Every structure is written in structure tokens, then in C-alpha cells.
Chain A
Amino acid sequence: MEQSRRITDSFPRRRRRRGPGRPPGRLKDRKDKDKDKDQDKAQLKVRQCPRGPSQAPPDPALMEMLRRFDLSWEYGPCSGITRLQRWERAQELGLSPPGPIRDALLEHRDNPDVTYRWVWDGLGW
């Protein structure tokens, strides 16, 4: 279990700063809910502070590619593990997952939306 659990973790979080160039059409609430859900689970390698202005947000094409990687059944279940763990497991089992996905995951490893499984409408884990 993570050490930094506080009673205020269940309260809705407000973002302090906004990164530039945020893609349009993304719901503010969805990002907050993702953060709450992620904190409620024990797999916590995510930094609590929001993304700084130095990192560019991933483009929707990348997110779509990652989403397709999650939903492809050949690599096994996608819930409960990070995308990188799932990629490495598929590699070890000899299922030859596409290389660009790993490069993208490593490039954006600080972004919780990229590292974790695609969340559908703010539900799921």
C-alpha cells in the first residue's frame, strides 16, 4: 500500500496549473476522476503534481494507438497493470508486440494517461 494516503484523497482535486497546448474537447472532470481513481489503487508510481509546461501532451493519434493496443486480445488482459508491463509481458511470451508502442510509452512515462490502461468514460481502473 502507498504511504501517502490521506483522508483528503477522496475529495475532488482541483488542478493548480494548466499546461499549455492542452488538446481541445477533453473534459476537466475526467482528468480529476482519473487522478482520484489512480490514487485509490495501490499501484502508485504517478507523481501527484500536474504536468509541468516543459512536457508536450501526447497527441490524440498516439492515445488512439495505445487504446488499440489495450483492446487487442492477443496480448492478454489489460486491466490492473501498466501498459509498459503488458508490453514487456507480451514480449517475453513471444507475441511480438509492436515496437513503436514501447517507444511512445517510454517517451511519455510521466503522463498517467499514457502509462495506465485507457479509461472509458472515467470508469474502470
Chain B
Amino acid sequence: MFSEQAAPTAQGLLAPPSGEPPTFPRVAVAGYSDLSQPFRLGERSFCRQYAHVYAVRLAGMRPRLEQRARGRWGEDVALRRLSELREGEKCCVVGTLFKAMQLQPSILQEISEEHNLVPQPPLPKYIQPCDELMLEDELQRIRLEGAIDVQRLVTGTIVAVYGCEEEDGRFLVEDHCLADLPPALPWSGPSSDRFVLLASGLGLGSMSGEALLSTQLLVDVVTGQLGAEGEQSCAAHITRVILAGNLLSQNTQSRDTINKAKYLTKKTQAASVEAVKMLDEILLQLCTSVPVDVMPGEFDPTNYTLPQQPLHRCMLPLASAYATLRLVTNPYQASLDGVRFLGTSGQNISDIFKYSSMDDYLEILEWTLLAGHISPTAPDTLGCYPFYKSDPFILTECPHVYFCGNAPRFQSKLLQGKEGQRVLLVTVPDFSATQTACLVNLRDLSCQPITFSSFGADAED
């Protein structure tokens, strides 16, 4: 794709400079619309409980699940609420899952003085064989057993279970189903090659400077200052760059200065100040050439709860002078050239990773699409804004490209749905660790990794 078009002209680098250097105008932006309005919060009030989020999630997803249940177990399957269950009757119940996990960090246990417990260190996974699954609807809850994979599912998923109630009050599950892929969007993608570059986890402000060279190489490729004429003409087909979170490194988050005495920390500056200045300079180079969408991530200076609001433009004075810089929310939804993009900076996927037996980020990404919800574990284990009117994380339409940032490695898959949905799932790797970014071709929904490796201190040669 990218390299195939570039290779034949590689010899051009060894030729004497030509009188008129060729210029390649960048492909014009056609049809961009930002659709992440549901993720923008205006006036925020935190005086509500989270019961509203779960109530609107269940009420919003119930019709779709009932339709799936009827399609799977017959049109005349009995759809009951938990309060209407009768012992021994085979029926279908739609509700929210709750997984009772012993190892789940609980703030109440930590601060309880009776237990005198040392706070639990963060574990990679909090699952245990003795975890239990409960189904809750608007009024009651019931324990689930049977043909349901307790380890795989997470709290907050809306699910329809088919089975019957046992004598001792448990529900024996014979079959269950999720909301499945949302309805498809019509396809109106471009007819020629157009690329979008997805990168995440730039990790600026970390102590090591090895990733900086790779970042500069990335910027140079996109702005067409690297490579022969072939590569430059290919780079001219890149219509957009999306930076999916973690622009700052985790090292900028250290809060040692809080514990130190005031006289020791008088002249110190937060590490994020220097990192944001670096980010501003990098974004300036990118914005002069290509539209850039900047999504905040876990370690970026914005709010912690999902949906994360855009970074403020006062932090990026040089780059925000350009209209090509767009500071957007996390999660981010937009329509580029008729192709619908939807993605997050990876907090939802890594949170499900901690509380489920699924190990593969691409598998978890696909599972969230099949569950019909971007982040089911919010607000249980992932911070979430207390919505009351509607849950904006419910997937109502199937995007064409669904990505998550800060994954351990690059993976992509083209998913075909039964109702004609075609989704490209991309896990964008962490750039500071892997020096890899992704190029998505909008014409045929194919994805290609592009790695900017440099010789490290250990390499011989």
C-alpha cells in the first residue's frame, strides 16, 4: 500500500537535485463533521447518584435486547421481569450484570478502621474463580448460574438470559445473548486512496528521550519532509492525523512534591508543564500541514472521569493559532469523508481487561461492539460522569472504524456483521513503547502499521 507506491522512486534520493523540486498538494479535506456532541458536557453537576446511569442504560437498551431475544429463542418467548418469575418456567429476562469480585478494590474496605487493612496493591487482573454473577433489573436481582461464562463478562453489561428459576432462588441459565452489532450506517466512502494516521501514547515528558526521535520521524513523514518523491506523494494522501490519548507520559503524573516540605519544592515546576510545551511544538509542526484531532488520555491534563473533555487551547498557544488543530473529547466520534470513526483512548478497554478473563485487546474491542456499549464497566470501576437523561456510551449505529488507543501492540480486523455491517477494528499501539502508528485507508477499510524505529543504545552496528 504505502510502501508499494513509494518503492519505485527510492532511487530518486541518489540523483542530483532537480531544478524544480516537485510539490505534492495534500488531498483536500472533503466532508468532515464532528459528531461527538453527546460526549461534551456543559454545566456539570456531581450531586446525583449513579443509579440514573444504570436506569437509563437498561431502559435504552431493553428494546434492542428484547428484539434479539425474540430472534434467537422464538417469537413467543416469555419476556419476564425478575418480579414476575415463576419457579420452573422457562423465560427470558433482560437486565444488567453485576459481578461480585472478592479482589475488587473497595475504598470502604481500605478506609475502614476495624479491618486495619493495608491497601491492596494494583493487580493486573482482579478476577478469581469464586466470582459470582448477578442479574439486576429495575427492582430485583438474582444470582446466575449455568451456561454463562462468569470470568469473561463484566459488570454493567446489559444482557438477555434464557433459563428458569430454581428452587433456592438462583436462575439457571441455558443461553444468553448480548445486544449484538448495532444497525449499519450507509457507506459513502471515497473512491480513491485516502489515509488517516492513528497514533496514541506519544508519552512526552518521560525521562528517556528515545521516543522523541521516533516522534520527530513521524512528524516528518506526515509533513512530507522524509523520503523520496514516492513517499512524499504517498504522505500527501494522508488527510488527517488522530492522536488517541496519552500525549503526556505517566511520569508527569508523579506527585512527590505534595509530600515534600515547601522549602524543597519552592522552585520546582510540574513535569507536565515542560511536556505540554514539547507537545505544543510538535503539534505546531503537524498543524501547519495536516488537520490534527487531539484526544485526551489517562495522563493528560483534563478531567479524569469519562467522557474526558478536550484539552484547553490555552495550553497550546502556538498550535491553536491554526484552524487545523481540533481538540476533541475522549471518546471521539466523527465522520471523515463519509467514513464514521469512533474511538477511545483505551481506558475502557484496559478497565475491562482488568476485570475479565479476556486477554486480547482486539477481542475486548470486538466484545464491546457486540455488547452495544463503549464502556460497560463505567461507572463501577471506571470513573464516569453521573448522567441522568441518557447514556451516551450506548452504541446506536455501527461505526466504520472503531479504534482504541494505548494498546500493547498493533492489531486490526475487519468485522462483517449479519446485517451488512462492516467495521474495521484497530488497536492503536502505545507509540512511546512500540514506535508504531497506524494508517487506515478509507477507500477499502484496510489498515497498515508504520514503525519508526531508531537504533537504540543496545543495538550494535
User: Chain A residues in contact with chain B, CB under 8 A?
Assistant: 41-43, 73-74, 76-77, 79-81, 85, 88-89, 92-93, 95, 125
Say whether B174 faces chain A, with CB atoms less than 8 Å apart: no
Q: Which residues of B contact A92 (CB under 8 A)?
A: 389-390
Say yes or no: A73 contacts B138, CB within 8 Å. Answer: yes
Known: A41-B47, A89-B388, A89-B389. A77 touches B60 (CB 8 A): no
Main SS class of interface, B? loop
Residues A80 and B59 in contact in the complex (CB < 8 Å), given A42-B45, A42-B47, A73-B139: no
- Whether the Cβ atoms of A80 and B47 lie closer than 8 Å is yes
Segment with Cβ contacts to A, from B49-57, B157-165, B195-203, B240-248: B49-57
Residue of B whose beta carbon sits closest to that of A95: B59
A-B contact pairs, 5 of them (CB 8 A): A76-B55, A76-B59, A80-B48, A93-B56, A125-B47
Q: Are the C-beta atoms of B52 and A77 separated by less than 8 Å?
A: yes
A80 touches B389 (CB 8 A): no
Question: Are A80 and B388 in contact, with the CB atoms below 8 A?
Answer: yes
Q: Please indicate the chain A residues that have their CB under 8 angstroms from the CB of B388 in the complex.
A: 80-81, 85, 89
Considering only residues 86-102 of chain B, those with a C-beta below 8 Å from chain A are none
Is there contact, CB below 8 Å, between B52 and A93? no
A74–B139 Cα gap in the complex (Å)? 9
- Judging by beta carbons under 8 Å apart, are B55 and A77 in contact? yes
Smallest CB gap from A1: residue in B: B45
Query: B95 CB to closest chain A CB, in angstroms?
Result: 14
Chain B residues engaging chain A, CB cutoff 8 angstroms: 45-49, 51-52, 55-56, 59-60, 138-139, 386, 388-390
Q: Please state if A81 and B48 are interface contacts (CB–CB under 8 Å).
A: yes
In the bound complex, how far is the Cα of B165 from the Cα of A21, in angstroms? 55
A93 partner, pick from B47, B48, B60, B139, beta carbons under 8 A: B60
Q: What's the minimum C-beta distance from B443 to chain A, rounded to whole angstroms?
A: 38
**What is the bound-complex CA distance between A41 and B45, given in angstroms?**
10
Asked whether B51 lies within 8 Å of A77 as measured between CB atoms, the reply is: yes
A85 to B56, CA, bound (A): 13
Complex-state Cα separation, A82 to B434, whole angstroms: 50
Known: A77-B49, A80-B52, A89-B389. 12 other contacts (CB 8 A): A41-B47, A42-B45, A76-B59, A77-B55, A79-B48, A79-B51, A80-B48, A81-B48, A92-B389, A93-B59, A95-B59, A125-B47
Nearest CB of chain B from residue A71's CB, rounded to whole Å = 12
User: In angstroms, how far is the closest chain B Cβ from the Cβ of A104?
Assistant: 21
Distance in angstroms between the alpha carbons of A125 and B388 in the assembled complex: 16
Closest to B55 in A: A76
Point out the residues of chain B lying under 8 angstroms from A93, CB to CB: 56, 59-60
Distance (whole angstroms) from the CB of B84 to the closest CB of chain A: 13
Most chain A CB atoms below 10 A, which of B59, B60, B386: B59
Closest to B52 in A: A77
Residues of A within 8 A of B59 (CB): 76, 93, 95
Contacts of B48 in A (CB 8 A): 79-81
Q: Could you tell me the distance between the alpha carbons of A89 and B60 in the complex, rounded to whole angstroms?
A: 11
Residue of A nearest to B51 (CB): A77
Question: Chain B's nearest CB lies how many Å from the CB of A5?
Answer: 14
| B143 CB to nearest chain A CB (Å) | 21
Could you tell me if B47 and A76 are in contact, using CB atoms closer than 8 angstroms? no
The answer to whether A76 touches B45, judged by C-beta atoms less than 8 angstroms apart, is: no
In chain B, what residue has the closest Cβ to A125?
B47
| Given contacts A77-B51, A95-B59, A43 and B45 within 8 Å (CB-CB) | yes
Q: Closest chain A residue to B386 by CB distance?
A: A80
